[in-house]
Amino acid sequence: PLFYLFDDASCGRFMARTMVLVLVMVMAAGGCAGATRENESRVEKAPVARVEEKKLSKEDRQLIETLLARLKERKDMKFVRQDVVYDAGMAAWYMKLKWQTNSDKVRSIEDFVALESTGGEHGEVKYYVEFSDGTRKPAGEVLGASVMKLRAEAADEEKAIK
C-alpha cells in the first residue's frame, strides 16, 4: 500500500488530508444524506430567521465622540487599568482604539460604557477612575454619569432651539 512509503507522522497527515478531500468531493457531488436532485424539491425547507442587526445610532455615535473629546481634556482624573495609571488623554485614545476594534459589539452608548469600563475576555477586569483628591470610582460609574450629563445637555440644547 501507498501509506507504507511514509513515516508515522507523514502517514497520519496524508490520511487526514485524503479523508478531508474525499468528504469534500462527496459533499460537492450532492451525495450527502441521500439528497438527490429529484427529491430535493419535495423537501420542505424551514424559513431562516433573520435578525435585524442593530447599529449604533447617529446620536449615540456623536455622544461617544463628545465624551471622548471631553475626557481627553480632563486634567483632574486618571484612569487605572490593572494597577497601571494613565492620564485622561491616553485613556481617551485607548478607549477610541478599543471602540474601533470592537465596533461590531457596540450598538448603543450603554454598550460602549460596558466595553470601556471592563477588560478581559469576559469583563472580569474592572477599570477605575482616580480623581485629583485621591478618590477612586469604577470607570463604568464615572462614564455612565458623564453620559447622563451629556444627554441632559443635549436635551437642554434641543429645548433652547425649539
pLDDT tens per residue, range 120-129: 777 788 899 9
Average pLDDT of the chain is 80
**Greatest Cα-to-Cα distance within the chain, rounded to the nearest angstrom:** 86
* Residue of 146 and 29 predicted with greater confidence: 146
pLDDT tens per residue, range 18-77: 665 655 565 656 555 555 555 555 656 555 555 556 789 999 999 999 999 999 999 999
pTM of the model: 0.63
